[in-house]
Amino acid sequence: MFDAFVERRRADAEALIADDFTFTSPYDDGIDRSAYFERCWPNGDHFVTFLIERVAADADGAFVTYWCTTKEGKSFRNTEYLTVKGGLVTSVNVYFGASYRDGTFIAEQP
- Residue 92 belongs to a domain with what CATH number? 3.10.450.50
Q: In this structure, is residue 106 part of a structural domain?
A: no
1-35 tens-digit pLDDT? 999 999 999 999 999 999 999 999 988 999 999 99
Domain with 20, as residue range(s), is: 2-99
- Whole-angstrom distance, CA of residue 110 vs CA of residue 101: 18
Average pLDDT over the chain reads 95
**Predicted TM-score of the model (pTM):** 0.88
- Whole-angstrom distance, CA of residue 71 vs CA of residue 28: 23
- DSSP character at residue 102: T
43-77 tens-digit pLDDT? 999 999 999 999 999 999 999 999 999 999 999 99
Q: In this structure, is residue 30 part of a structural domain?
A: yes
Q: In this structure, is residue 27 part of a structural domain?
A: yes
Structural domains of the chain, count: 1
